[in-house]
């Protein structure tokens, strides 16, 4: 069997599984596609685009049942070792499906494919297509090529592997996103050039590349026309956005936010993820000027110890982070803050950890994605001596999560009697007079209202706290539709 990169056009080199959900799947004659997504929101976004793409090119529709699918795609994550091992255990299950149905096509994409393409071929030779985060737009051609060689003897088959980094061409080949509901993600940049010492992302997704400004604005305007009211801008470091403008200039992230806020229909703006280093005064100013921006920020810090931050190559100190949040809270005193933490980084002492815990208490985080450090092959941190016992790391992590959970409970409790701006998203399944929406701080809010209000924003006074993420309220004001 010849091993060859498919389309030789390359340039350079939290996580729970989700299944990209079908909208309809009843006709047995229609070809069905099953996608399992691991890892981050970027992967979620990519999986939806893969479904759109194969739907448009080959008429595939999504199924949530892998055993009735004609093609199985896995969009993988390699951020931690556990995530990566999951790929091979799941592929083992898929192999059994292929034993029963030899026509079944199996494709592996995402960051594990990008980093471990060779290994996947060796450990799982029954995988038909391997593609990376930057080449998923070539899936239809890859599938055609696969279909064209199905009848060929094994020795003449070309292995379909494309894990190259062809800059940003991906977006030029993706169809218009399909809209479901009132919220949408829009990817504005790919990759990361920060090279934190523990992280595989720059190697698996490539360096930072921004989508041109006009493409981003056109996509958002299209979504708004189809009823989308809340946009989440996506990228590994959205505040590193440097999108080329039509005139050949460069648009920065704060400038982009201002332009997006002008698009009729867009009533709420979120973004994830951003880096503290590029969390500029211009960006903070947007919180004063743009009411569409939510009072909720996810700003990864990773550690509350300067020694650890230095070893992580985060390139900023704790004071820098604290100052920026203080400025932000001056403008928005109710700002809800969430972050990522890595606990048990090589060399993290008891003292360093105590600093992190104190930092978490001082900053009053509402939420976190926190994990024990996972050694990733090929990253600089993988060479650092690491003598802290795993059990100690786990205990430290449990402490962090306990403190943040408590703070989260207190934040929900503090909503009682306050007024929240809510995007009304749906009517309750149980009662047609009850509406459900989300507050800025992502809590679900239910209240009595009219089904015709769905898709609009409302001011709701919170009257009862039900659970950590779920509160009741009463309508104070229904905003006019922003379109
Ligand atoms: N762009 C983001 C991070 C993206 S990666 C930033 O600015 O930091 C998502 C998260 O995964 C990171 O924030 C980090 O907390 C976690 N992560 C990355 N590499 C890891 C590793 N080797 N071990 C444990 N957690 C890791
Ligand atoms: Fe990873 Fe650091 Fe970039 S955590 S995604 S290298 S900012």
The answer on pLDDT for 37 being more than 90 is yes
Ligand nearest to the CA of 345: 1
8 — pLDDT class (breaks 50, 70, 90)? very low
- Read off the tokens for 207: 């360096």
Q: What is the pLDDT of residue 116?
A: 87
**273 preceded by cis ω (within 30°)?**
yes
Q: Whose CA is nearest to atom 4 of ligand 1?
A: 236
163 — pLDDT class (breaks 50, 70, 90)? confident
Q: Are 331 and 284 in contact (CB under 8 A)?
A: yes
Residues 6+ apart with CB under 8 A from 353: 305, 343, 396
The answer on pLDDT for 11 being more than 50 is no
Q: Whose CA is nearest to atom 1 of ligand 1?
A: 236
Q: Are 143 and 54 in contact (CB under 8 A)?
A: yes
- The finding on whether 293 has its CB within 6 A of some atom of ligand 2 is no
- Residues 385 and 8: their CA atoms lie apart, in Å, by 40
Provide the mean pLDDT of the chain. Answer: 91
pLDDT in tens, 391-432: 999 999 999 999 999 999 999 999 999 999 999 999 999 999
Q: How far apart are the first and last CA of the chain?
A: 56
Distance 371 CA to ligand 1 centre (A): 9
Distance 356 CA to ligand 2 centre (A): 19
Residues 6+ apart with CB under 8 A from 328: 284, 287, 297, 335
> Checking DSSP bridges between strand 32-37 and strand 71-76, what pairing results, if any?
parallel
Q: Whose CA is nearest to atom 8 of ligand 1?
A: 300
Q: What is the pLDDT of residue 9?
A: 26
Q: What is the pLDDT of residue 28?
A: 55
- The finding on whether 279 has its CB within 6 A of some atom of ligand 1 is no
Report which of residues 82 and 229 the model is more confident about: 229
Q: What percent of the chain has pLDDT over 70?
A: 93
- The finding on whether 109 has its CB within 6 A of some atom of ligand 1 is no
Which of 77, 192, 369 for a ligand 2 pocket mutation test, highest count of atoms within 8 Å of Cβ?
A: 192
Q: Are 346 and 389 in contact (CB under 8 A)?
A: no
Counting Cα atoms < 13 Å in the Cβ hemisphere of 97 gives 18
The whole-number average pLDDT for the span 138-159 is: 85
pLDDT in tens, 107-120: 999 999 988 888 89
155 — pLDDT class (breaks 50, 70, 90)? confident
């Amino acid at each position: 069997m010849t091993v060859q990169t498919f389309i030789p056009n390359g340039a350079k080199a939290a996580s729970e599984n989700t299944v990209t959900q079908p909208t309809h799947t009843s006709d047995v004659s229609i070809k069905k596609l099953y996608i399992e997504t691991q890892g981050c929101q970027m992967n979620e976004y990519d999986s939806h685009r893969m479904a759109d793409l194969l739907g448009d090119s080959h008429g595939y529709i999504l199924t949530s049942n892998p055993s009735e699918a004609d093609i199985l795609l896995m969009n993988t994550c390699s951020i931690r070792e556990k995530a990566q091992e999951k790929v091979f255990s799941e592929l083992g299950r898929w192999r059994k499906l292929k034993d029963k149905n030899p026509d079944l096509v199996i494709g592996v994409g995402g960051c594990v494919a990008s980093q471990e393409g060779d290994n996947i071929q060796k450990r799982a030779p029954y995988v038909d297509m391997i593609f990376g985060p930057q080449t998923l737009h070539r899936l239809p051609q890859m599938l055609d090529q696969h279909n064209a060689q199905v009848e060929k003897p094994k020795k003449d088959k070309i292995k379909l592997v494309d894990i190259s980094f062809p800059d940003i061409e991906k977006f030029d080949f993706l169809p218009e996103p399909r809209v479901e509901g009132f919220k949408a993600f829009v990817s504005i940049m790919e990759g990361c050039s920060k090279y934190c010492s523990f992280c595989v992302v720059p190697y698996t997704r490539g360096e930072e590349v921004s989508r041109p400004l006009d493409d981003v604005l056109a996509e958002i305007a299209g979504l708004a026309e189809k009823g989308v009211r809340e946009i989440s801008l996506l990228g590994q470091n959205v505040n590193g956005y440097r999108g080329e403008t039509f005139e050949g200039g460069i648009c920065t992230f704060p400038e982009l936010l201002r332009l997006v806020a002008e698009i009729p229909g867009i009533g709420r703006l979120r973004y994830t993820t951003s880096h503290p280093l590029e969390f500029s005064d211009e960006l903070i100013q947007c919180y004063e000027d743009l009411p569409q921006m939510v009072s909720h920020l996810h700003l990864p810090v990773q550690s509350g110890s300067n020694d650890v931050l230095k070893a992580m190559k985060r390139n900023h100190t704790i004071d820098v982070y604290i100052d920026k949040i203080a400025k932000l809270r001056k403008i928005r005193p109710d700002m809800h803050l969430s972050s990522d933490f890595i606990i048990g980084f090589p060399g993290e002492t008891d003292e360093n950890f105590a600093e992190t815990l104190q930092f978490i208490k001082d900053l009053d985080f509402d939420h976190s994605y926190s994990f024990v450090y996972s050694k990733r092959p090929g990253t600089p941190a993988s060479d650092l001596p690491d003598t802290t016992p795993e059990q100690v790391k786990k205990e430290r992590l449990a402490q962090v999560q306990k403190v943040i959970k408590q703070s989260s409970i207190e934040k929900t409790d503090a909503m009682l009697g306050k007024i929240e701006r809510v995007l009304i998203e749906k009517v309750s399944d149980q009662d047609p007079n009850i509406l459900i929406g989300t507050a800025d701080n992502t809590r679900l809010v239910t209240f009595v209202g009219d089904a015709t209000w769905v898709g609009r924003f409302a001011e709701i006074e919170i009257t009862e706290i039900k659970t950590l993420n779920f509160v009741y309220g009463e309508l104070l004001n229904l905003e006019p539709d922003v379109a």
